[in-house]
Structure 1
Amino acid sequence: MEDAYDFGMILQKLRKEKGLTQEQLARKICKESSIISRYEKNLQAPTFETVRAFAAIFNVSMDYLSGMEKRERISAYNLSDEQIVIVNKLISAFRSSNSASNKKLSPESCQLLGEIVEELSK
């Protein structure tokens, strides 16, 4: 059974998902690559500032990094107001789709798809 708190495992998972090597991640936080290895093996705990930097790099909360929050969050950082509205509609559409037995696109889904295409083509 996994530990409830395994910072190293969480860090390694996020690093690999982002396609970063330990050296690349270390450069992003201005540290030696060996420190990333030590963090991932839980041989050394990062400082608060380092955890905050990891949260920003991986676009997750500090609670997620600490193992307290089990689900990743979706960040609206650096999105326009219009893009945030579209993302919220998309989340709502996914939730509706997951609970619906009919898998055909609804008129609302078609409209949302049009908004997404329009936004991406700007």
Structure 2
Amino acid sequence: MCDFGLRLKSLRASYGFTQKQLAKKLNVSEVTVSRWESNYRLPEFISLLNLSILFDVTLDYIAGIDKKTAIATKCLSEDQVKLLKMIVCECQSRI
């Protein structure tokens, strides 16, 4: 089973958000985000959906079904995305 709280905390940190900033973006309290990250509570579906959109990951990933990490490309230009895909393909061909 996935540690949802750890995954959420990691995603939040990778985007440089504080719990307070994330809470504001999701229209929930900072305490709610803290409870999610400590696995004291789990988010409702709409919050999971909003998290997946915000962090540019699949619902499967955020829910722990998909163990593969995702690379957020939302902030990249089209050329940067193409370059990233080329790098990934090159790395996969070496495996």
What TM-score comes out, normalization by structure 2 length? 0.80
The structure with more radius of gyration = 1
Moved beyond 4 Å, runs of 4+: 74-80
Letter of the 1:92 counterpart: M
Contact 2:56-2:73 at 8 Å conserved across structures:
no
Aligned-partner Cα distance in 1 for 2:28–2:9: 16
Q: CA RMSD in A?
A: 2.6
Question: How many residues align structurally?
Answer: 94
Letter of the 1:59 counterpart: D
User: Which 5+ residue runs of structure 1 have no aligned equivalent?
Assistant: 101-122
Aligned to 2:16: 19
Aligned-partner Cα distance in 1 for 2:86–2:31: 43
Contact 1:5-1:67 at 8 Å conserved across structures:
yes
Change (3 A) 1:77 1:25: closer
Greater relative contact order structure (CA < 8 Å, 6+ sep): 2
Contact 2:61-2:68 at 8 Å conserved across structures:
yes
User: Which 5+ residue runs of structure 2 have no aligned equivalent?
Assistant: none
Matching of residues 81-120 of structure 1 within 5 Å: 83=78, 87-88=81-82, 90-96=84-90, 99=94
What TM-score comes out, normalization by structure 1 length? 0.64
